[in-house]
Amino acid sequence: MRADIAVLPGDGIGPEVTAAAVAVLQAVAHRFRHAFDFAPHDIGGIAIDRHGDPLPPSTLAACRRADAVLLGAVGGPQWSDPNARVRPEQGLLALRKGLGLYANLRPVRPHPATLGAAPIKAHLLSGVDLVVVRELTGGIYFGEKTRSADGASDLCSYSVAEIERVVRRACVLARLRRGHVTSVDKANVLETSRLWREVAARIARDEFPDVTLEHQLVDSMAMHLLSKPRAYDVIVTENMFGDILTDEASMLAGSMGLLPSASLGDGRSGAPTHCPIDSACAAERPAMDGRAGVSASRESDARDGRRQTTMGLYEPIHGSAPDIAGRGIANPVGAILSGALLLRHSLGLEAEAACVEQAVAATLEAGVFSADLAPNGRAAGTGEVADAVIERITAISRVPE
């Protein structure tokens, strides 16, 4: 298939890990005879320096036209003056909002080879396989912000519809997994959380009787996530809780550099397409555009003979890591696995996605570790890890007839 992928390297280690992920996707294209076009665009700090805007209109327009977006990271100390007019992170938030990507999937599946790198006891980690579904375009991140001489405020608000759609997404995902959803909130204190809990309970009861829903307060969840991580299947939560819990969850895997993410919305024209999660969601949801079940793909697909694609943004969960940037030592696995999610969710290329995941697993099994995973041993550089993955893609994959 042909696909246009917008690449937003961003700042710090962003360009380093993105280059590794693009090299892996190029190897996949070569091996499986696809034609992927990678077009780079500015976002974050570098976009402020070059265009005075962390999300230049040309970048947003290019992302809207693309089949999928691959992003590195944004931010850094040089743009972190508290009095700065604009920050790199605003570009990323505007991109997520501008593309309508309200559901951020962050899978956590510790690999046996990296259990030793995790600060948690290995016997608690084997068999851990969970996905955090983080609400991505609402909550305190996007509420009104005020600042005066004697105070500041950030408004946290959620509409019923915003909660319904992300909880639905989590329940559909759970149906494809072990059928268990943990909804995380702070309903003992926050009004938005009381609404969240009420809506989550109604959606699960009325639309997903086959899914088990439990509620958990976020503070004790932070503890349970480390003490009994195997107990969780799908965790759904609001924007800021999801941000914090997933950095914590990266310690189950062993490093911030290991976790990928996929940010998904309802697709280009309403109902989504081939991603199993998306298709099931489309079947559940009333028509959004009067054409329920109709592809959310590029309007032009049918005309130019392309396969259908579903817009998504793919990025590792880590940041720009200014402390290690520019040294070629960042772990590219989170970015590479984000590329696998892109193949699966946006391009519908399941065999190719699984091939990348197997190649990453085989690389870790072979003990090819970047410095974050091998503090005392011989560490592979960012490019060496990518090369090891590419070598295995070439070795293990078969071109489907």
- Is 254 a residue that touches ligand NAD (CB under 6 A)? no
**Of 5, 29, 47, 93, which one interacts with ligand IPM (CB under 6 A)?**
93
- Is 11 a residue that touches Mn ion (CB under 5 A)? no
> Is the CB of 236 or the CB of 256 nearer to ligand NAD?
256
Rounded CA separation 210/377 (Å): 47
**Of 144, 150, 299, 323, which one interacts with ligand NAD (CB under 6 A)?**
323
Q: What is the dihedral of CA 48, 52, 56, 57, to 10 degrees?
A: 170
Rg (CA), the chain: 20
Is 272 strand, coil or helix? Answer: coil
Residue 16 in contact with residue 316, Cβ under 8 Å? no
- Is 262 a residue that touches ligand NAD (CB under 6 A)? no
Q: Is 9 annotated as a binding residue?
A: no
Q: Is 106 annotated as a binding residue?
A: yes
Catalytic residue check, 49: no
> Is the CB of 322 or the CB of 328 nearer to ligand NAD?
322
Active-site residue, from 11, 185, 186, 314:
186
CB of 106 to ligand IPM, least distance (A): 9
Q: How far apart are the first and last CA of the chain?
A: 13
| Choices 52-60, 153-161, 202-210, 330-338 (CB under 6 A): range interacting with ligand NAD | 330-338
**Of 243, 315, 357, 387, which one interacts with Mn ion (CB under 5 A)?**
243
Q: What is the dihedral of CA 241, 244, 247, 251, to 10 degrees?
A: -90
Q: How far is CA 350 from the centre of its chain?
A: 17
Q: Is 319 annotated as a binding residue?
A: yes
| Choices 71-79, 191-199, 221-229, 233-241 (CB under 6 A): range interacting with ligand NAD | 71-79
> Is the CB of 77 or the CB of 112 nearer to ligand NAD?
77
Active-site residue, from 243, 266, 372, 387:
243
Rounded CA separation 218/212 (Å): 19
Element (H, E) at 44: none
Residues in contact with ligand NAD, counted by CB under 6 A, come to a total of 23
Q: Is 260 annotated as a binding residue?
A: no
| Choices 95-103, 253-261, 305-313, 336-344 (CB under 6 A): range interacting with ligand NAD | 253-261
Non-local CB neighbours of 304 within 8 Å, separated by 6+ positions:
none
**Of 1, 5, 6, 17, which one interacts with ligand NAD (CB under 6 A)?**
17
CB of 261 to ligand NAD, least distance (A): 8
Catalytic residue check, 228: no
Phi/psi of residue 40, each to 5°?
-80, 145
User: Which tokens go with 66?
Assistant: 């693309």
Strands 103-108 and 68-73: unpaired
> Is the CB of 93 or the CB of 99 nearer to ligand IPM?
93
Active-site residue, from 49, 129, 247, 301:
247
Residue 29 in contact with residue 62, Cβ under 8 Å? no
- Is 315 a residue that touches Mn ion (CB under 5 A)? no
**Of 9, 110, 265, 319, which one interacts with ligand NAD (CB under 6 A)?**
319
Catalytic residue check, 102: no
Q: Dihedral sign, CA of 318, 71, 364, 354?
A: positive
> Is the CB of 127 or the CB of 377 nearer to ligand NAD?
377
- Is 73 a residue that touches ligand NAD (CB under 6 A)? yes
The pairs formed by 322-328 with CB atoms below 8 angstroms and a separation of 24 or more are 322/12, 322/76, 322/77, 324/13, 324/371, 325/11, 325/12, 325/13, 325/16, 325/76, 326/16, 328/16, 328/381, 328/382, 328/383
User: Which tokens go with 217?
Assistant: 């307060």
Single out the residue of 365, 368, 263 nearest to residue 315, CA to CA.
263
Q: Is 24 annotated as a binding residue?
A: no
Single out the residue of 9, 67, 49, 4 nearest to residue 332, CA to CA.
9
Catalytic residue check, 301: no
Rounded CA separation 41/356 (Å): 25
- Is 67 a residue that touches ligand IPM (CB under 6 A)? no
Active-site residue, from 37, 219, 228, 289:
219
Q: Which residues bind ligand NAD (CB under 6 A)?
A: 13, 17, 73-76, 89, 92, 255-257, 315, 318-324, 330-331, 334, 372
Binding site members for substrate: 96, 106, 134, 219
Task: Provide the annotated binding site for NAD(+).
Answer: 76-89, 319-331
- Catalogue the active-site residues: 141, 186, 219, 243, 247
Which residues make up the interface to ligand IPM (CB under 6 A)? 75, 89, 92-93, 243, 317, 319
Residues of this chain that interact with Mn ion (CB under 5 A) are 243
